[in-house]
Chain A
Amino acid sequence: DSGVTQTPKHLITATGQRVTLRCSPRSGDLSVYWYQQSLDQGLQFLIQYYNGEERAKGNILERFSAQQFPDLHSELNLSSLELGDSALYFCASSGGPVTSGGQETQYFGPGTRLLVL
């Protein structure tokens, strides 16, 4: 158990709908990362927040948005869903913003499996 929690574990919805995925980081961790993993695909970095502020943005679609709240939990909002958005969405957390040369081990949550029908 990494200490990172994600809800819901499974989500089935229809095309065109909007869903919200929730992540609670490990106690004390300030950074939250979101990843998408499609079937048989590697991990695609979506976005990172540090202490409520957006820190880095990866391959996140305009239909997707995220935020980190004062209590440090984060939500990933996916709208106008398409069949291709079906994937496993992971949240990870780490202690700090990652300074140059430093390693911030990321602790991954169990993921939310999204199925768009």
Chain B
Amino acid sequence: GQSLEQPSEVTAVEGAIVQINCTYQTSGFYGLSWYQQHDGGAPTFLSYNALDGLEETGRFSSFLSRSDSYGYLLLQELQMKDSASYFCAVRNYGQNFVFGPGTRLSVLP
């Protein structure tokens, strides 16, 4: 089967940099996606890695290493509004989407 693992919680202060890791066990997938979800809200797309390496989108960057079965989301210049849950997800070759359990990020003043 497929499974993704993420830390359940991460805490950081405003202006800091935080890295949210995602490790996975899956036989094959197209790419690794990241979604943000604020309390009571819907998930919103953040980033996608089809290939190994770093993708940068503003303050957010995402990294994938297929050989290490590992990826991460890097958030820079943290702001209070970044407090949310972050999910990694893959679409496996069976066309099913698998989401990680989510990491709750708390940004402190």
Given A90-B42, A101-B30, A103-B33, are A58 and B101 also a contact pair (CB < 8 Å)? Answer: no
Bound form: Cα–Cα A105–B91 in Å: 12
Residues of B within 8 A of A (CB): 30-31, 33, 41-45, 48, 50, 87, 89, 91, 94-102
Q: Is the interface of B mostly helix, strand, loop or mixed?
A: strand
Given A98-B91, A101-B31, are A58 and B42 also a contact pair (CB < 8 Å)? Answer: no
Total number of A residues with any Cβ neighbor in B under 8 Å: 26
A18 at the interface (CB under 8 A from B): no
Do the beta carbons of B87 and A42 come within 8 Å of each other?
Answer: yes
Do the beta carbons of B42 and A108 come within 8 Å of each other?
Answer: yes
Residues of A within 8 A of B (CB): 2, 33, 41-45, 48, 55-58, 90, 92, 98, 100-103, 105-111
Do the beta carbons of A55 and B95 come within 8 Å of each other?
Answer: yes
Do the beta carbons of B98 and A108 come within 8 Å of each other?
Answer: no
Do the beta carbons of B87 and A58 come within 8 Å of each other?
Answer: no
From A44, A48, A103, B50 is in contact (CB under 8 Å) with A103
Bound form: Cα–Cα A111–B41 in Å: 8
Question: B80 to nearest A CB, angstroms?
Answer: 22
From B89, B94, B99, B102, A56 is in contact (CB under 8 Å) with B94
Question: A43 to nearest B CB, angstroms?
Answer: 4
Q: Which residues of A contact B101 (CB under 8 A)?
A: 41-42
Which among A90, A106, A110 has the greatest number of chain B C-beta atoms within 10 A? A106
Question: A90 to nearest B CB, angstroms?
Answer: 6
